[in-house]
Structure 1
Amino acid sequence: MTDISRPCPHIIDTLAEEGHAHSIISKYKLVLLWSVNRFQAVTNTAKRRKISSPLCATCNLFLARPFACLHCLYIGCWDDGHVVEHLNEESHTFCVDAKTGSVLCIQCNDFIYDAHIDEIRLATLVMAEEQQTRFQVAKKPREAFKPWVPSEKDIAALEGAVAIPCQGRRGLLNLGQTCFLNVVLQSFVHNPLLRNYFLGDKHNWKQCKVENCTCCEMDKLFTEIYSEDPNPYGPITFLATTWRASAELSGYAQQDAHEFFISALNQIHGTSRGSTNVSCNCIIHSTFAGQLQSDVKCERCGNVTSTVDPMLDISLELRGKGGEVTSGENTLAACLRRFTQPEKLGPKEYSCGKCGKASHEASKRLSIRKLPPVLSFQFKRFEHKTTDKNSARKIDAPIRFPASFSMAPFTTLAMKETEKENNVPHPVHPGPDAMYEYDLFAVINHEGKMNNGHYTNFARFQDEWYRFDDDKVTPSTLGACLNSAAYMCFYVKRHLDYKPYMTPTYVLARETEAVREKEIEKEKEAARMKEVEDALLATV
């Protein structure tokens, strides 16, 4: 997306022309009003269905994410590039994403930001919601938004307030070989999505009544880390809650940081709001959940069987140990290429549904179908052979990973384009490059041997890097972080695509169940009344 400090010159020139600006802004408001009516304000499913989805003017398909040209009445799809083709053919400059209100400038080839456009977007959304959104109890229109103007009493109270500094860089005490816990908790603390969630009071441990709630422990952790106390904090209750929830992690033995990371995600998921096994929108799945697609191709008939599985992180294989690895083999990009390259399957591993027989020639390929907001990578430094339990070893090979990179080449859509274009080195992927860019914000390191090693980590706080070694917090640099012995890396999406609010499926299921119970009660009442009537008729 265009840097705010360097705004798009084309939108500035367009808004400077009074007649042209009025036309652009009018169409922009109409698109936003339609979006509110279709996706946000109308909660009744029957009413929402009456607001028809538009068709792409090129391919005549229904659009779940329509893009509208701001110069004419054209509406097209983004995935197939029809809206971009229209802008180029008609020499039009701007189009808008109806769901998010983001404006694309075809001359900049990027989504742009303009302060005036953003003010119009916010004002239009607030106005539309004020007109249509009603309170659940009173069924009255929502009161119009009014900006807060502090009174003299408010000003006096603000002037007398004492500002409490937020630390955000606080060490954690080692409670007895608990460095594995400390580094994972530090990665949680510096995760921007988790930070905004818990500091935004989305879960309050003082009001929660769930026993052994890991979300409560997370809320306590963020409260302590961002308090004014500079002394190291001991996550004793977090450790005790982990022991109760996961027996394999109990005790004071050294544990694997990745195993604790997965266990902590499951525990937070199980105790957070919106947690469900059907369609989960809890904070963990909203942050870490993506989709991994597996394509198995029969080399005999060309039949492809695809399956999609959820993922919370990606584990990557390493090559060699110590100096036995060649340069470039253990970079993050190389590991991802090995992760997504086709592999041959054994004769008994796959049976083609089209051929009807076990195929001796089949290949399997993994790709990222859906990218999560936060990507977590684990490098498999520890090897365990099933035949000999004492042959476990650690791969000390250095790993090169960047401060920022693009996941576009490893997505399912990009790989399909690569196959269509006969393995071109730089395939065309749908959407702007900003949709696939990630920035590093935390790294977990393992130092020492396999059985007596120690975990430390680096994390980014605002624009500065720090090294966390249990209770010791020291300023560091990005270069020191990139040269560390990485075991896990955490990247956050540079531009997050926020979706409009949708009622969770578990709420819809609960409402449907309540309606069904009322219908059953009515049926029972009708049956009882019929029995009474039959009894009265029998006495006549």
Structure 2
Amino acid sequence: RTVLCLPREEEHVSSLKIRKTNVVNVTVMSPAGCPHVNGFKVDNWKQNLRVIYQCFVWSGSAETRKRKAKSCVCHMCGAHLNRLHSCLYCVFFGCFTKKHIHEHAKNKRHNLAIDLLYGGIYCFVCQDYIYDKDMEQIAKEEQRKAWKLQGKFFPLFNPPVFPSDFYSVGEKYSSWEPTKRELELLRHNPKRRKMTTNCTIGLRGLINLGNTCFMNCIVQALTHTPLLRDFFLSDRHKCEMQSNSCLVCEMSQLFQEFYSGHRSPHIPFRLLHLVWTHARHLAGYEQQDAHEFLIAALDVLHRHCKDDNGKKANNPNNCNCIIDQIFTGGLQSDVTCQVCHGVSTTIDPFWDISLDLPGSSTPFWPLSPGGDGSTLNGESHLSGATTLTDCLRRFTRPEHLGSGAKIKCSGCHSYQESTKQLTMKKLPIVACFHLKRFEHSAKLRRKIITYVSFPLELDMTPFMASSKENRMNGQYQQSVDVFNDNKYSLFAVVNHQGTLESGHYTTFIRQHMDQWFKCDDAIITKASNKDVLDSEG
């Protein structure tokens, strides 16, 4: 019943830092670093930074370690701990936990500080640790020098009693950097290539706790959402709830379980308990609706993590939490007066798009399989089958509201008949399409089994508000960049087998670009592209 899609351009983003975003595109920290570093790079900045690393961070010799122990105290409270940071512009040490370094940075307008435990550079404007290629090179060089100095005191054949005495404060092991010869061996090793392409980390079954397949299938889809995975595995959630009732904390633990490498099925009993606690209408062991669970889960996650990011919101929902950054889009509604042709426009946030199907009691717009919509996204038409594009065309078609739904026109200043048209003002990073297969009406309760063809790649450009405006202005051609921004690639499909009264949910998830798996509670099996595209959806 639910199809989730991820933009083709964003699916390979592996950075653990999600920077300022709009609803469509994600901007990640580039290798060039943040722009505020340039204010520090003047005069003898490299030598000054080396001195800080030598004396106050890595401390290779016994003398520098003693000096660090004596001098590295907070200049406000005198504490040695509390994540001590040093200002890069002046001689000031301050606690990060108690925000003494933050007060100094605000008062002096000194934007950069260095973590004296791990050596990371923090920008108070970006509100995060940053990456700069030049600074990183200096940090590595000074760290290696410190390790060599410590190696003179503790030879490998006579190690110290306490290993921590041998290593510098911070990282204990240097990262492995392969030589050219080692790179050649890795490149030509077929066994290594096989391990890379057939990696199954993140694949894990979920035990059915009693008609909980509706929850398991959505959890599988969420845990394979790349940007959501990066957020939780980078420990970005800052929990402020007093009790153990935070759903975001449980999701974070769930991601840890999924990507731990364990192969045995996971038992999501804590997640089920929290769902029952925060979504009372889903409590109990009765069969529930997967789409209803998805919306309820996103709502609770949104409420529990909306304080994680203090930055100004830039999406239609006025929230910058990770849920709204990924799933929230903007739906534009244009109501046009039939007399003066004045247009009233409103934009509402949405987490998913619910699409009517042929065979329902609502009138369905007849679409020809040979029309433009059938070839737009490369969807197959088996015996004139309805496509996802057809459903989207119906969703965004102008609708005459009729005489029974007159509105007061701001131009005519009287109640007039009008037409209404929905278009996409802003696309979400992850688009969720809900096919309305469960029909509830006064006379009818049934499941609609109409086959809907959906593609591996979907272009949403024709359904954008900008495309409508271009057509009205006679300028349908758009640039290649805008066209590509609206393209999505499929990564999860939720299916329901059975009737309205009883049935079972399963999920197809994409592990890699061309590897699909079917998740049936605790059982995970390999699937093909054909298995996915032929499924009911």
What interval of TM-score do these two structures reach, taking the shorter chain for normalisation? Answer: 0.5 to 0.7
Distance 1:246 1:2, change over 3 A: closer
Shift in Å, 1:430: 8.5
Normalised TM-score (structure 2): 0.61
Q: Say if 2:408 is the partner of 1:355.
A: no
Q: Is the 8 A contact 2:306 2:319 kept in 1?
A: no
Change (3 A) 1:343 1:124: closer
Are positions 1:447 and 2:483 aligned together? Answer: no
2:254 corresponds to 1:221:
yes
What is aligned with 2:222?
188
Tell me, in whole angstroms, the C-alpha distance in 2 between the residues paired with 1:429 and 1:298.
32
The equivalences for 1:61-210 within 5 A come to: 122=32, 125=35, 127-128=37-38, 130=40, 136-139=102-105, 140=110, 141-142=112-113, 145-147=135-137, 148-149=139-140, 150=144, 151=147, 167-203=201-237, 209-210=242-243
Q: Matched residue of 1:301: which SS?
A: coil
Deviation of 1:443 (Å): 0.6
Change in 2 beyond 3 A, CA 1:130/1:466: farther
Deviations 1:67-98 (A, max 9, x none): xxxxxxxxxxxxxxxxxxxxxxxxxxxxxx9x
Q: How much does 1:309 deviate?
A: 0.6
Match of 2:536 in 1: 485
Q: Is the 1:409–1:427 contact (alpha carbons within 8 Å) kept by the matching residues of 2?
A: no
1:310-358: CA deviation from partner (whole Å, max 9, x where unpaired): 111100111027xx99855621111110000000002242222221222
Question: What pairs with 1:36-55 in structure 2 (closer than 5 Å)?
Answer: none
Q: Give the aligned residue type for 1:171.
A: G
Supply the distance in 2 between the matched residues of 1:313 and 1:332 (Cα, whole angstroms): 14
One-letter amino acid of the structure 2 residue matched with residue 353 of structure 1? S
Map 1:489-500 onto structure 2 (within 5 A): none
For 2:299 and 2:400, how far apart are their aligned partners in 1? 33
**1:274-295 deviation line (CA, Å, top 9, x unaligned):** 3799821011101101100100
Q: In structure 2, how many angstroms separate the alpha carbons of the residues matched to 1:358 and 1:157?
A: 74
The one of 396, 414, 428 aligned to 2:467: 414
Cα distance, 1:137 vs structure 2: 3.3
Aligned Cα RMSD in Å?
Answer: 3.5
Partner of 2:391: 335
TM-score normalized by the length of structure 1 = 0.61
- Residue 158 to residue 256, structure 1, CA distance change in 2 (3 Å): same
Instruction: Report SS of the residue matched to 1:415.
Output: helix
1:77 corresponds in structure 2 to none
Inter-partner Cα distance in structure 1 for 2:479 and 2:501: 44
1:113-161 deviation per Cα after TM superposition (whole angstroms, max 9, x unaligned): xxxxx76xx06737326459985233344357233435465686778xx
Separation of aligned partners in 2, 1:227 and 1:233 = 11
Superposition deviation, residue 273 in structure 1: 4.1
How many angstroms apart in 2 are the aligned matches of 1:472 and 1:155?
Answer: 40
User: Cα deviation per residue 1:470-516 (whole Å; 9 max; x = unaligned)?
Assistant: 00011112221111110xxxxxxxxxxxxxxxxxxxxxxxxxxxxxx
Aligned to 2:516: 465
For the residues of structure 2 that align with 1:217 and 1:269, how far apart are their CA atoms?
14
What is the rounded CA distance, in whole Å, between the counterparts of 2:234 and 2:34 in structure 1?
25
Please name the residue that 2:132 is paired with.
none
Distance 1:209 1:298, change over 3 A: same
Classify the secondary structure of the residue corresponding to 1:356.
coil
1:5-26 CA-partner distances (Å, limit 9, x unpaired): xxxxxxxxxxxxxxxxxxxxxx
Percent identity over the alignment? 36
Greater relative CO, 1 or 2 (CA 8 Å, sep 6+): 2
1:204 is displaced (CA, Å) by: 6.6
Q: Secondary structure at the match of 2:402?
A: coil
Counterparts of 1:299-378 in structure 2, within 5 Å, are 299-320=338-359, 327-328=383-384, 330-349=386-405, 350-360=407-417, 362-378=418-434
Q: What pairs with 1:214-253 in structure 2 (closer than 5 Å)?
A: 214-253=247-286
SS for the counterpart of 2:499 is coil
Deviation at 1:201, TM superposition (A): 0.6
Following superposition, the deviation at residue 359 of structure 1 comes to 1.2
CA deviations over 1:204-261 (Å, ceiling 9, x no partner): 77x9644411101101110111113210001101111011111110000000000000
CA distance in 2, matches of 1:168, 1:101: 23
Distance change >3 Å, CA 210–CA 283, structure 1 → 2:
farther
**Distance between the aligned counterparts of 1:405 and 1:331, measured in 2?**
11
8 Å contact kept, 1:443–1:457: yes
Q: 1:339 to 1:156 in 2, by over 3 A?
A: closer
Letter in 1 for 2:353: I
Cα distance between partner residues in 2 of 1:126 and 1:330: 53
Pick which of 143-152 and 235-244 moved more.
143-152
**Match of 2:467, SS?**
helix
Number of residues of Structure 1 aligned to a counterpart in Structure 2 = 363
